A and B are shown apart, each in its own frame.
Chain A
Amino acid sequence: MPAKKTAKKADIKDLVIRVCVGTGGLAAGSQEVMDEFGSQLKSHGIKAEIVKKCVNKTGCRGFCAKDVLADVILNDKSETYQLLTPEMVSRIVEEHIVNGSPVKEWLVGPEYHAFHDKQTKILLKQCGHIDPEDIDAYIKIGGYEGARKIFSLEPSEVIEEIRASGLRGRGGAGFLTGLKWELCSKAEGSPKYIICNADEGDPGAFMDRSVIEGNPHSVIEGMVIGGYAIGANYGYVYIRAEYPLAIQRLKIAISDARKKGFLGENIFKTKFDFDIKIKEGAGAFICGEETALIASIEGKRGMPRAKPPFPAHKGLWGKPTVINNVETLSTLPTIITQGAKWFSSIGTEKSKGTKVFAITGKIKNTGLIEVPMGMSLREIVYDIGGGCEKNCALKAVQTGGPSGGCIPASHIDMPVDYESLMAIGSMMGSGGMVVMDDTTCMVDMAKFFLSFTQNESCGKCTPCRIGTKRMLEILTRITNGKGREGDIELLLELGNSIKLTSLCGLGMSAPNPVLSTIRFFRDEYEAHIRDGICPAAVCKALRIYTVSVELCKMCGKCFKACPSAAIAWEKKQPAKIDKGKCIKCGACYEACPFNAIL
């Protein structure tokens, strides 16, 4: 026994446990896992304050499919566990921490390494490593060096550096950040404002959330840099109230930064004042649009207005304002410390640096990734994402969320950057990437995105408010088997006219999912309309349920499940479905244990 005891005491100094406590991790139970590590260590006689020091929480490291993830770093040797539950902790403590031999079968596998190895992490580098609620942890890895450095430069030199880096806004439109800053810095009016756009309303997107939850100080530092460059003494973070953890961590970070003199008056002991306020939004997608966002901060209904005047000239309270996305802002500190040259060496000619994507859908490794601009879609989907779930065939990838379009599998080798995506009728958007395999119906998918934009339209302008509704109705009738000849043409006509006449980016891009699926998958639309078939067998109304006589084991489960008495069955007889009575609810399909309902 004494041998074990000494080993424990000696090792504990060098022990670090990092548990992924982002929103995804929390949902998977990471808080419980973390608590369990604490109490297990304590039960091994380790003092509470030491436990507190060595069990750390971190933000999301991206590989959400394998949450809860935790690193156990013992004597500088790091091992990562995946899919943890509290019950597994005692064995890890006993075997790995106390006895020094990791629990091999619970460690991450090759897909974890494949997932990370192809990525280039600039902005997500520290998410998953540092404790987001500890400002010293951020400072230790070089945090706030960028902010410190800019004060030895003129604001115009800072702008020039960002211009030279080629950084483009990550909020969707890809406007050159340096140029936007220059316009604002030259605009007349004071005070000026800098706003961090953390509204992030795209379905399936959680890049900004993860950055704030995992490394809130990088956003604050970015805002300090931007504020100094354009001459703004006030910053706002507009963040949706549905992000409570991000808000909480941001609040802690802001108050810690104030205590250190990084925010407030005379920051970094200079003559420059800068402070940040948080404005919680009520979760409207349209409030991510910059002019609607400004209206919302001003206490008005969040509706876009016409540009010009651009916010850089007339923004919040009519004053010159820069609005930047979370990702854009948190990239800034690294550009300042490592230099524009270094940053612009990553990516393509016109799209510099890295981009964070949230990959979801029918893909093995769902999660958050950061890759250099211009990486091929194939590398993202197959090398990082691990290909489609259940080894189904890839059909298409939707980028840019509800404003984007779908890219068919035949274009899998295209590079992912602003221009290439635009050329194919999609867009970068904020970085959502939904992978679809041959079990996805493209008409149904387009309908999903359009119903989102229709619901989120602010209602201000005619084409978006009524036009998207009419398009949605046409898509609904197609998926219900009531499509008509001419519907595709009507969709194209409406879609193009909505794109041309809408006031803001929401309406201008809302038809994209429909137009791009018609462009690449017109045959699927036609199959629905002309043949009454949904090739992916998704649209229930178009299904014709039949019983396979070969597979039917005559158990009668379908007969009992049918709410419409459409199934005839007797003992020792295969079931039979009466098409006339069938209401296509799919209850028999679900009920059959032998997959005999086709």
Chain B
Amino acid sequence: MKHARLMQYCSEYWEEALSENKIKITINGIETLCDRDDTILKVAKKIGVKIPHLCNDKRLEPYGGCRLCIVEVKGVPRPLPACTTPATENMEIITDNDSIRKLRANLIELLLSNHPNDCMRCERTGDCKLQNLSYEYGVDGSRFEGEKWDLPIREDNPFISYEPNKCILCGRCTRICNEVVMAGTIELTGRGFNSMPDTAFKKPRTLENCEFCGQCVSTCPTGALTDRKGRGKGRSYDLKKIKTTCSYCGTGCNFYLNVRDGKVVKVTSDTDAPVNQGNLCIKGRYGYDFIHSEDRIKTPLIKIGDKFVEAAWDEALDLIAEKFSSLMKKHGNESVGAFSSSRCTNEENFLLSKFVRTVFRSNNVDNCARV
């Protein structure tokens, strides 16, 4: 009986799913439903099948450059990239077998054959997709000795370090710069073995051509692009990651403060953040110096004469309450108001406006955001 009901449920489920124009595909023997035009990679991820890739970032359009996500599709004589191939009705996919692994291993070998392989002193060790793949597939680049890039590290600006020798040409940096930021600072240049991401005419990054949002750094899967301010201050596994909301504006972007020995050493993206999906601006990513600034105000200050004097919170709040009350008593509720900062969160702004309207009984409330 139970079984019959289950069967019925299943068939209803399939019918309903199919009626919504869902299609059925099979990945490694697992049948699943997905939308027409979902990529194989997307569906595989959803059902927990891992497919390696280097050039894919969910913030970007599918690219198909690194070729590591190749899979076998029944009836197709050559492997297809999972990241760009749309699912079609009754597609049967194998994501891992000897021949696919061999082709992937070849690709990793090729990437490593033009790589300094200096993981020992690399900023990204432990948090590098290339390193992980090399480990997983057990290959290095030594079978294909030959020319390797020998280009100097580029630190022509305060924020972004670029080590071209470590670049694997996944194009993520250039795509995020053009597709998401739309700054057009970098693009792939050159052809063949000498193609590389760069600025126009290899000019240094300055405020004239770059936003310094560090989006390129956030997407780079290797040590080619790193945050200059955090270099040498700890690798991913040395750092405690504390999720927080950016304090610069009311958008509410999330990110991780990377902390070591009580000090923030860099900011990294949280690609699952609902508001910003890992995207940040220059302030959020690089404007954290104030946290440990000597000049930072850490307690309320009360002005006595023409001098500010440090005070306790209770003392300050009492003073504020008292002053507001007396002003309102003397000049009426409309005589007071509040002005909040766009560096506060939406919720804080909301609370303030509620406070002014219900406690002050005044409509004098505003915010500094005047863009």
Q: Which of B23-31, B104-112, B250-258, B347-355 contacts A (4 or more CB under 8 A)?
A: B104-112
- Size of B's binding interface in residues, CB under 8 A: 38
For the complex, is B265 an interface residue (Cβ under 8 Å from A)?
no
A306 touches B143 (CB 8 A): no
A contact residues around B220 at 8 Å (CB) = none
* Residue contact A462 to B110, C-beta cutoff 8 Å: yes
Q: Are A459 and B191 touching (Cβ within 8 A)?
A: yes
> For chain A, what secondary structure do more than half of its interface residues adopt (helix, strand, loop), or is it mixed?
helix
CA A470 – CA B144 in complex, angstroms? Answer: 6
Q: Number of contacts between A and B (CB, 8 Å)?
A: 103
| CB within 8 Å for A469 and B192 given contacts A305-B64, A459-B169, A463-B67 | yes
Q: Which of B14-22, B81-89, B273-281, B363-371 contacts A (4 or more CB under 8 A)?
A: B81-89
A490-B147 in contact given A284-B191, A462-B111, A497-B103 (Cβ < 8 Å) = no
Residues in A with CB closer than 8 Å to B96 are none
Known: A459-B169, A462-B111, A497-B103. A306 touches B85 (CB 8 A): yes
Q: For B103, what are the chain A residues with a Cβ–Cβ distance below 8 Å?
A: 497, 500-501
Question: Does B110 lie within 8 Å of A463, measured CB to CB?
Answer: yes
Residues from chain A with a CB closer than 8 A to the CB of B194 are: 459
Interface string of A191-208 (1 = CB under 8 A from B): 000000000000000000
A302 closest partner in B (C-beta): B191
**Of A458, A466, A502, which is within 8 A of B113 by CB?**
A466
Q: How far apart sit A301 and B188, CA to CA, in the bound complex (Å)? A: 8
A500 — nearest CB in chain B belongs to which residue?
B78
Q: Shortest CB–CB separation between residue A230 and chain B, in angstroms?
A: 24
Contact with B106, one of A457, A460, A465, A494 (Cβ below 8 angstroms): A494
Question: Closest approach, in angstroms, between the C-beta of A442 and any C-beta of chain B?
Answer: 22
Q: Once bound together, how far apart are the Cα atoms of A303 and B66, in whole Å?
A: 14
With contact pairs A306-B85, A457-B191, A459-B195 given, residues A501 and B111 touching in the complex (Cβ less than 8 Å): no
Check if A473 is an interface residue, CB within 8 A of chain B: yes
* B169 adjacent to A465 (CB under 8 Å): yes
B214 within 8 A of A: no
A461 within 8 A of B: yes
Number of interface residues of A (CB under 8 A): 32
Given A462-B111, A494-B106: A503 in contact with B193 (beta carbons within 8 A): no
B102 smallest CB distance to A (angstroms): 8
Contact A465 B192 (CB under 8 A): yes
In the complex, A321 has a CB within 8 A of chain B: no
Give residues of chain A (9-36) contacting chain B, Cβ–Cβ below 8 Å: none
Counting chain A CB atoms within 10 Å of each CB, the highest count among B63, B65, B196 belongs to B65
Complex formed: what's the CA distance from A466 to B70 in Å? 17
Contact A501 B192 (CB under 8 A): no
- Cβ-defined contact, A501 with B107, below 8 A: yes
A469 and B146 form a contact (CB under 8 A): yes
Closest to B193 in A: A469
A223 CA / B196 CA spacing, docked (Å): 38
CB of B114 closer than 8 Å to a CB of A = yes
B106 → chain A closest CB, angstroms: 5
Q: How far is the CA of A493 from the CA of B106 in the complex (A)?
A: 9
Q: Mark B192-203, 1 if CB is under 8 A from A, else 0.
A: 111110000000
Assess whether B67 is in contact with A462, with CB atoms less than 8 Å apart. yes
Known: A462-B66, A462-B107. A306 touches B84 (CB 8 A): yes
Nearest CB of B to A313, in Å: 12
Please, which residues of chain B bring their CB within 8 A of the CB of A461?
A: 64-67
- The reply to whether B64 and A503 contact each other, CB–CB distance below 8 Å, is yes
**A440, CB-defined interface residue at 8 Å:** no
B70 and A501 form a contact (CB under 8 A): yes
Knowing that A301-B187, A473-B147, A501-B79 touch, tell me 17 more A-B residue pairs with CB under 8 angstroms. A301-B188, A305-B64, A308-B85, A457-B192, A459-B192, A459-B193, A459-B194, A463-B110, A465-B169, A466-B110, A466-B113, A467-B106, A468-B192, A470-B110, A501-B67, A502-B67, A503-B81
- Name the 8 nearest CB pairs between A and B, nearest first: A459-B195, A306-B84, A473-B146, A466-B110, A469-B193, A306-B64, A470-B144, A497-B106
Interface residues of B (CB under 8 A from A): 62-68, 70, 78-79, 81, 84-86, 102-103, 106-107, 110-111, 113-114, 143-144, 146-147, 168-169, 171, 187-188, 190-196
